[in-house]
Structure 1
Amino acid sequence: MSTRRLEEPSMTALTDESAARPEAVPRGGRWIDHWDPEDGEFWDRTGRRVAARNLIFSICTEHLGFCVWLLWSIAVLHLADNGTALSVGQTLWLTTVPNLVGALLRIPYTFGPARFGGRNWTVVSGLLLLIPCGLFVFAIANPGLPFWVLLLIAATTGLGGGNFASSMANIAHFYPASKQGLPLGLNAAGGNVGVSVTQLTMPPLIAAFGLIAVGWVWMPLILAAAAGAYFFMNNLTRASRSYTMAEMGRIAARPHTIVMAVLYIATFGSFIGYSFSFGVLIGNQFPEVDASHYIWIGALVGSAARPVGGWLADRFGGTAVTFWNFLGMGLGIVAVWGGVSTGAWALFLGAFLWVFASTGVGNGSTYKMIPAIFRTRAEARAAAAGRAARERAIELARREAAAAIGLISAVGALGGALIQQTFRISVERTGGIAPALIVLAAFYGLCLGLTWAVYMRRVRLGDRRMSLAEAGV
């Protein structure tokens, strides 16, 4: 095994003085055997640089995953011009199936970094994005394909949705618990903004080069991102033990996993559900407005707000930020309802952008909460144990939190489909979206109460009574 530590921008030999201190030690395949971000000296000397480099290339791959995931949401609007006539129901299926597949794939993708290594899985999951792009080109070049074939091809874009879970689970291992909010927020925002990039760039690309170009344009970028991950990312030995299905089942059944999944439905589920639906809602309520000029703004605002939520959570605690953010989301939905009821386009747009921003802040703060919750509970249980037992408990909590992130992200993405269906039912039965807005406002109120009851109310932690918010969650 090599006795050299990982440095930037190159590998340098350990000095006698530094050899006495643990370092990030690489071996074949860019594996790092020692990684201790909770050690402040280690973090300042080596960890911060290595973590930042892995974060950058993780963002690149995850961003392209979201771009590919949203391919058909825009392409369906131009299929008729390409010689493929579909009913409204068929069009909705072509946009819903990728959402559902992407959500379901987040569960097995969570196993990827632990089973194969974060760097290795990032390369593989990035290259897999070539499949939906290639099949998209094939579908557009053959406009007479049966609908079931189109549906299968559209389903493969769900591979892009799965990338999020593996990327977030992997990056969580690189950062100390107290500093995870901002990097996880940046990582997620880099992916989320792919929604806006797709919605903004595809229409002019289609106008200039035809629908088939939409499949080709991502391929060289995917290859470049995979190459970057291959050459510049790392695998962590500490995170390499794969989860068994039994372990995942126990983690999924934990009360805090369930509660955080509900909260994440309200944040990320809202973000992705609104992103898919925003253009339709504009067309339904304000038919005189050209939705194509505004459809991409919401996703961009929500993506940009996500690292802000992570930063605020690092500064004030994820629980406090999440609590007040749900209040803001509820008030925003009430303002959207005001714009709908009065026909005020400016109020509707401004209020909806406020809601989009709130979903981003909530996404960042809830992801800060997940690892902090698992760590805090582990420390409380091991408070009376020795140092070795405490360290083992914290390491187990870190692994469980990474698994929970994947599970919670899957449920949150499925929540986006539920929000889409809430709007669909509202429009079909009443002709408008006001009933859906009432349901959503009530849901955000429920999440506000749930956050207070579980994480702000004082409970017994170890031998003390405190709230998880007081414990730093």
Structure 2
Amino acid sequence: MTAPSTAPAPPSRGGRWIQQWDPEDETFWKETGEKVAKRNLLFSVLSEHIGFSIWTMWSVLVLFMGPEYGLTPADKFLLTSMVTLVGAVVRVPYTFAVAIFGGRNWTIISAGLLLVPTVAAFAVIKPGTSFNTFLLVGLLAGIGGGNFASSMTNINAFFPLRKKGWALGLNAGGGNIGVPVIQLVALAIIGASGGPRVLLGIYIPFIVVAAVLAALFMNNIENVKNDTGAAKDAVKDGHTWIMSFLYIGTFGSFIGYSFAFGQVLTNQFGRTPLEAAYVTFIGPLLGSLIRPVGGALADKYGGAKITLYNYVGMGVATAVLIVASMQKSLGLFTVAFVVLFVLSGLGNGSTFKMIPGIFQTKALAKGLEGEAAAAYGRRLSGASMGLIGAVGALGGVGINLAFRQSFLSYGSGTGAFVAFLAFYAACFLVTWAVYLRRTAAQGQAATASEAKPQLSYAEV
């Protein structure tokens, strides 16, 4: 008997294709799978990290754009909002690109595509360029947001269910950290009196390196096939939309606050752009670093439980922000906002862990076992991740629009925070009602009919 081979498969396909992949087989995982999966995870994180940096670069570039550029604050707000919107929308096709091209192949392509918005911005960012030109080039940067969806779908296929929370959390956290990294690099450049082209020039070679490393060290999985049926099934499944709603509360908060934090500090507390930049990177940094912890806690205690308690924490932090905003306490406001960033990152990890767990639970309830159950779970969870990630990112647009309306109506962000508090309360209720409330009743039903598998999401 020989162990399953992970050698590049079918000569007809060529390249670095893995023919057999069964991470749920513990022998295979220990002997071969874990090493290969972790190698792919490492280079996936690198590519996604740079993707996040390019996606959010215009929130940084506008700091360089003084009066000589002729842009109003409203122009800058519109520019960054549209970049966020494009980043959300492209997540859907990016999810299915993995199945069409292969995870390794699409990582190479998607990393290389990041050169387009970066080189274009390098060419046009100078006084005298029209706002429409900036808007068009800014929209191109939205493709960086798509890298998250394809990367998560790819890594989801590599790891067994018991490791998905940790792996997806690390993959996403490493990507999310691209937001504070580009903010820190920009802060250093501003401090050194450098211009925006210096920032863009730093990232161009890193994009090339990420694409080359993906080509050299990543793999495609042969049995991750293009499956339009999976996409249709994911759209029809109510859990896809429930989790999309919950992901608005976590990732929508993270990316929305990442774009808005600096603007709130400057508009409400009178900070200069440079003073705001000294603070704004802290929240996204800690929120990114904590995301794998959220996934690991979900692996251990169940994603639904961690998500539920996390929304309690987000609600408390938001209530403190409302008080700080009304009292105009900059210190309390900043601390509470950073705490909210940390909790949004923790919730990002726990909610994404729930997705494969939910579909695996449904597979078992259908009577599937072993690889059949795992394949069902991978199929639907992989297809749903792009939709969930896209809707979650759209939440970031909503947050910025809520802040805009709040400042127009009340002259501060207080009104927006009240709306966010109500939304987090709704997320708490949905998590409890759908994934935790039924546990006791289903346990009683199970004793009456032991032979029939029961749906229970408490441990997902």
Q: In 2, distance between residues paired with 1:33 and 1:224?
A: 27
Q: In 1, distance between residues paired with 2:221 and 2:177?
A: 27
Q: 1:202 aligned to 2:186?
A: yes
In the alignment, is the contact (CA less than 8 A) between 2:256 and 2:399 conserved in 1?
yes
Q: 1:254 aligned to 2:245?
A: no
In the alignment, is the contact (CA less than 8 A) between 2:111 and 2:207 conserved in 1?
yes
Letter of the 1:107 counterpart: V
Identity across matched positions, percent: 45
Q: 1:66 aligned to 2:52?
A: yes
Greater shift, 438-447 or 205-214, is seen at 205-214
Structure-2 residue corresponding to 1:16: none
Q: 1:274 aligned to 2:257?
A: yes
Structure-1 residue corresponding to 2:385: 405
Q: 1:21 aligned to 2:7?
A: no
- Structure 2 residue corresponding to 1:263, chosen from 222, 246, 249: 246
Letter of the 2:154 counterpart: N
Structure-1 residue corresponding to 2:205: 220
Structure-2 residue corresponding to 1:184: 168
Greater shift, 406-415 or 19-28, is seen at 19-28
Q: In 1, distance between residues paired with 2:152 and 2:77?
A: 29
Q: 1:160 aligned to 2:140?
A: no
In the alignment, is the contact (CA less than 8 A) between 1:458 and 1:465 conserved in 2?
no
In the alignment, is the contact (CA less than 8 A) between 2:166 and 2:295 conserved in 1?
yes
Deviation at 1:145, TM superposition (A): 2.8
Structure-2 residue corresponding to 1:124: 109
Q: 1:172 aligned to 2:161?
A: no
Greater shift, 131-140 or 336-345, is seen at 336-345
Structure-2 residue corresponding to 1:3: none
Q: In 2, distance between residues paired with 1:258 and 1:353?
A: 28
**Structure 1 residue ranges without an equivalent (≥5):** 1-18
Q: In 1, distance between residues paired with 2:179 and 2:117?
A: 16
SS at match of 1:36: coil
Q: 1:48 aligned to 2:34?
A: yes
1:66-111 superposed Cα distances (whole Å, 9 cap, x missing partner): 1111111111222236x42112222112111110111000000001
Deviation at 1:465, TM superposition (A): 4.7
Letter of the 2:53 counterpart: C
1:7-57 superposed Cα distances (whole Å, 9 cap, x missing partner): xxxxxxxxxxxx522232323311001111001111111111101000000
SS at match of 2:281: helix
Q: In 2, distance between residues paired with 1:253 and 1:90?
A: 38
Structure-2 residue corresponding to 1:85: 70
In the alignment, is the contact (CA less than 8 A) between 2:361 and 2:455 conserved in 1?
no
Q: In 2, distance between residues paired with 1:379 and 1:63?
A: 35
Q: In 1, distance between residues paired with 2:220 and 2:116?
A: 25
Deviation at 1:251, TM superposition (A): 1.0
Structure-2 residue corresponding to 1:242: 226
Letter of the 2:310 counterpart: N
SS at match of 2:177: helix
- Structure 2 residue corresponding to 1:427, chosen from 399, 403, 407: 407
Over 3 Å counting, the alpha-carbon distance change for 1:466 and 1:94 in structure 2 is closer
SS at match of 1:166: helix
SS at match of 1:26: coil
In the alignment, is the contact (CA less than 8 A) between 1:67 and 1:195 conserved in 2?
yes
Q: In 2, distance between residues paired with 1:209 and 1:200?
A: 13
Q: In 1, distance between residues paired with 2:271 and 2:54?
A: 30
Q: In 2, distance between residues paired with 1:41 and 1:234?
A: 20
Q: 1:437 aligned to 2:422?
A: no
Deviation at 1:237, TM superposition (A): 0.7
In the alignment, is the contact (CA less than 8 A) between 1:102 and 1:159 conserved in 2?
yes
Q: In 1, distance between residues paired with 2:130 and 2:329?
A: 43
Deviation at 1:203, TM superposition (A): 3.1
SS at match of 1:22: coil
Letter of the 2:250 counterpart: T
Matches within 5 A, 1:250-399: 250-287=233-270, 290-383=275-368, 391-399=371-379
Q: In 2, distance between residues paired with 1:20 and 1:208?
A: 62
Q: 1:38 aligned to 2:24?
A: yes
SS at match of 2:125: helix
Q: In 1, distance between residues paired with 2:36 and 2:430?
A: 37
Letter of the 2:233 counterpart: R
Structure-1 residue corresponding to 2:456: 467
SS at match of 1:127: helix
In the alignment, is the contact (CA less than 8 A) between 1:66 and 1:195 conserved in 2?
yes
1:97-131 superposed Cα distances (whole Å, 9 cap, x missing partner): 11011100000000111100000000000000000
Q: In 2, distance between residues paired with 1:152 and 1:288?
A: 29
In the alignment, is the contact (CA less than 8 A) between 2:303 and 2:351 conserved in 1?
yes
Structure-2 residue corresponding to 1:9: none
Q: In 2, distance between residues paired with 1:451 and 1:271?
A: 19
Structure-1 residue corresponding to 2:434: 454
Q: In 1, distance between residues paired with 2:105 and 2:321?
A: 44
SS at match of 1:25: coil
In the alignment, is the contact (CA less than 8 A) between 1:251 and 1:400 conserved in 2?
yes
Q: In 1, distance between residues paired with 2:76 and 2:325?
A: 26
Q: In 2, distance between residues paired with 1:280 and 1:170?
A: 35
In the alignment, is the contact (CA less than 8 A) between 2:49 and 2:177 conserved in 1?
yes
SS at match of 1:285: helix
**Structure 2 residue ranges without an equivalent (≥5):** none
Deviation at 1:466, TM superposition (A): 5.7
Deviation at 1:209, TM superposition (A): 3.4
Q: In 2, distance between residues paired with 1:352 and 1:79?
A: 26
Q: In 2, distance between residues paired with 1:391 and 1:307?
A: 26
Between the two proteins, the alignment pairs up a number of residues equal to 444
